[in-house]
Structure 1
């Protein structure tokens, strides 16, 4: 059995995309995954599976979630070892950029091509830097970045499909499950 972590996108936002933690757990268990746990209500789930194909795991979960909820739930998964490495990179980047106001980690289904990674990193500005490392892109936002935009650097649309978590969630989940 291998341990995986899955991150659900765009749930519990508004009245029509509700997906409570207990329902997530039930849906994950319904497809045969075991040892299922969730962390906070933003769609972070840990499970054990005999499956080894990340694409098959994501497809299986997305089908189960759509059947349960009646709407698509894009899902990004990592093995526990992959996520531990991602969290270590995030912590190192954070340490290399003292004084950040926020550090968001965009979790990606696939690593971007070199050209796309350069384009994403090219959205860096006085507001902050975008740094791509494997299947993650880091928004390192400086104080004063908030201008009412969810994506002040304009990189999110380049990264689809993706979901993001702040550094605190990434490091907490890694410490808890990896």
Structure 2
């Protein structure tokens, strides 16, 4: 059995997209996933499966979540090994003195031209760094606190969800 980490996009942000972590676990288990665990209530899920295709895992979860909730729940999965590597790289990419480090987890890898476009949004507010299916927003002191996309790069990333470097590091230590 392989272990994957799945990240749900745009849940628990308001009254209409509520998806408690107990319900996430229940649905994943009903779909046949095993060893299901969640971390905080923002859509971080660890699960084991005999499936080997990331696309099949994401599709099964998305379909099951939509049936249960009545709204789409984009899901982005990484193997345990992929996630451990991206967490290690995230720590290496960070810079001293940052105000925030957001890690965007992407469903699909960008083309080289798309990656260059994302990285070209870098400026006084911070720097965007793309590595595979991950983009890092390295935000400088003075960016507008509470703005998770001050560089306006998220719209260039496709289907994505973001976590702070702290959450990424915590999940890697807990699940990898």
Give TM-score, length-normalised by structure 1. Answer: 0.97
- Secondary structure of the equivalent of 2:97? coil
The residue that corresponds to 1:77 in the other structure is 77
Q: Distance in 1 between matches of 2:46 and 2:159?
A: 20
| Structure 1 partner of 2:166 | 168
Please state if 1:115 is matched with 2:113: yes
Confirm or deny that 1:30 pairs with 2:30. yes
Aligned partner of 1:44 in structure 2 is: 44
Q: How many Å apart are 1:160 and its aligned residue? A: 1.6
Deviation at 1:150, TM superposition (A): 3.3
In 2, distance between residues paired with 1:165 and 1:147?
15
Q: Which residue of 1 aligns with 2:123?
A: 125
Q: 1:146 offset after TM fit, Å?
A: 1.0
Q: Which residue of 2 aligns with 1:67?
A: 67
Listed as ranges, the gaps of 5+ residues in structure 2 are none
CA distance in 2, matches of 1:172, 1:148: 21
Residue of structure 2 equivalent to 1:87:
87
Distance 2:60 2:78 in 1: 14
Task: For 1:61 and 1:148, locate their aligned partners in 2 and report how far apart those are by CA, in whole Å.
Answer: 30
Q: How large is the Cα RMSD of the aligned pairs? A: 0.9
Three-state SS of the structure 1 residue aligned to 2:48 is strand
Alignment match, 2:143: 145
Q: Counterpart in 1 of 2:9?
A: 9
| CA–CA distance in structure 2, aligned partners of residues 42 and 103 of structure 1 | 17
Number of aligned positions between the proteins: 176
* C-alpha deviation, 1:110, in angstroms: 1.3
Q: 2:53 — aligned with what? A: 53
In structure 1, runs of 5+ residues without a counterpart are none
Runs of 4+ in 1 over 6 A off after TM superposition: none
State the 1:165 CA deviation. 0.3
Measured after TM superposition, the shift of residue 111 of structure 1 is 1.0
Are the aligned partners of 2:108 and 2:158 in contact in 1 as well (CA < 8 Å)?
A: no
Q: SS in structure 2 opposite 1:59?
A: helix
